[in-house]
Amino acid sequence: MATTFAPDIQTLSIVPDAISLARYPDETLLLGSARAYRDNGLKYFQICERTAGIVQTRAMWKRAYIITEPSAIADVLVNYPKCFVKPFILQRLKVLFGDGLLTSDGEVWTHRRRAVQPAFASDRMAAFLNVVAENTRQTVSLWRDGEVRDVYPDLVNLCMKNITQTMFGVYDEELGSIVRALAATCHGLVGQIFNPFRQFPLHFPRRLMRKVEKDLNDLRQYLNRLIEQRKSEPPRDDFLGIMLAGEGRHPCMNREAIINESVTLLLAGHETTASALVWSLYLLARHPWLSDGLAADLYMRLNGEPPSHPDLESLESLRATLDEVLRLYPATHRIGRTVKTPVRIGGHMLREGFDVVMPQWAVHRSPRWYRDPEAFVPSRWTPAFRKSLPRFAYFPFSGGLRTCVGGQLAYSECAAILGFLVQRFRFSMCDSTPLVPREGLTLLPDARGLPVRIEKRTAAAASASPAVEMAAQPGLRRIYPSAGGSSRPGAAGCPFAASGFLGGIKSLLH
């Protein structure tokens, strides 16, 4: 579908069959598009998407291409990944992650990825989801019927507990408070890094750096103690065990590397899933009839229990809901690279040294791929729709070599937590003011967090079919078959049965 947005685009080049290439519409001589980006980065990406498949722009001195055409994104991530490196902006996060997976490139990255990957093998998911279920039960045991509560900190702590227990075999309050402090510092760093007006001087403010050093030092000391303790115990095969077994086997697998990967996983492994969950609850709180439909469908199948690993395979309504959440609020809402070697993408030569930004936020909200793109409509995710979507019109976990290493784990974790919470509780907003997303390392809620009213669902309420809403929106019956009152669990003919939940996760990892 053609877009209606047609500002005075200055088209840079017209190449037959090439993807459109244009400059950002409102650049100024001095600042380029820096002010527009600084004022509202998310809107900025959407303007780029409506302007051209590739927008060439400049934020102060930094030159960039904003790429939103799916086939060009595929070229960058899958077809010519070796022509790109992680962007300079992310390199600055090395003060935190060292040369961990997120920030490294080349040979170091290849060795690290090989070393870390086994910790995320599919056969570990069942055990992981048991940990998730237990921690989720503990978390909600603090929630009182009828209370208004900011659930964001609870979700952050829950996800942190899940990842530390699974990857490191421990969780205690000391580790929790160290990681929380470091995450807050990380947001400060990201704020500096992504503000185009704070690029000079290149070093961070001294106060911020002192905080980084302190928090990082606390975490390193904790991890060093943990490593020493683990070395005195029989080997285990969690992430830390796998890393320790590989220590010294390759020049780039030393103690420093283990610490860097641990910091990377501790931060990337809980901030992202907490973001996905907070936006899930936000959207369900704003769409209570959808939440009721989902609860009824899940209750029919799970009877109020958390979904186990095998359960996930058949929970199509849950998958559709989560896909729709990650479409509207992708936890990682933009991916960056820098052109290392000039390369032709979409019919245009990308120049060395330019940054490339591929914003999921804007691609996922494009009217070219999604009807009523700003609306929360889980029922759009039918198999036919999935099939019709071009590759990289939906890419919450990126794709190609650098696809999210924790994607399967993250997706299963979010589904398991959401599947449990929605059966047990009904969330509603306390006021109608929309929550404004903030651009941090992940897509964060604004300073209010997510204050919601929490009501416990009784078994009867959870399994009741919300007939009125279903009649008003017949399309919902496709997505929440049990809530329509007709289907039995796992009914044949379910529109998602063909791909299954876990098959679906794999397809998301492109």
Positions touching ligand HEM (CB under 6 A) are 101-102, 113, 163, 264-265, 268-269, 272-273, 276, 330-332, 335, 396-398, 402, 404-406, 409-410, 414
Q: Which is nearer to ligand HEM, 66 or 409 (CB)?
A: 409
Q: Which is nearer to ligand HEM, 34 or 418 (CB)?
A: 418
Task: State which residue, 223 or 335, has the beta carbon closest to ligand HEM.
Answer: 335
Select 279 or 496, whichever has its Cβ closest to ligand HEM.
279
Q: What does the chain come to in residues?
A: 510
First to last CA, the chain: 24
Residue 66 pairs in a beta bridge with: 55, 357
Which helix (H) or strand (E) segment is 335 a member of?
strand 335-339
DSSP 441-464: SSEE--TT--EEEEEEPPHHHHHS
In the bound complex, what is the minimum distance in angstroms from residue 500's beta carbon to ligand HEM?
Answer: 20
Residue number with CB closer to ligand HEM (222 or 392): 392
Q: Is 236 left (phi over 0), alpha (psi -120 to 50) or beta?
A: beta
| CB closer to ligand HEM, 332 vs 465 | 332
Residue type for position 268: A
Nearest Cα to 406, choosing from 199, 120, 12?
A: 120
Q: Burial, 134: exposed, middle or buried (Cβ in 10 Å; 0-12, 13-18, 19+)?
A: middle
Minimum Å distance from CB 399 to ligand HEM?
8
Least Å from the CB of residue 45 to ligand HEM = 15
Residue (113 or 456) nearer to ligand HEM, CB:
113
Q: Name the residue with the smallest CB distance to ligand HEM.
A: 406
* Count of beta carbons in the 10 Å neighbourhood of residue 256: 12
Q: Could you tell me the smallest distance in angstroms from the CB atom of residue 490 to ligand HEM?
A: 26
CB of 269 to ligand HEM, least distance (A): 3
| Closest distance of CB 13 from ligand HEM, Å | 27
CA distances for 116 relative to 50, 293, 397, angstroms: 39, 39, 17
Residue 201 preceded by cis peptide, ω within 30: yes
Nearest to 82 by CA among 437, 355, 340, 399: 340
Closest distance of CB 187 from ligand HEM, Å? 17
| Amino acid identity for residue 248 in this structure | G
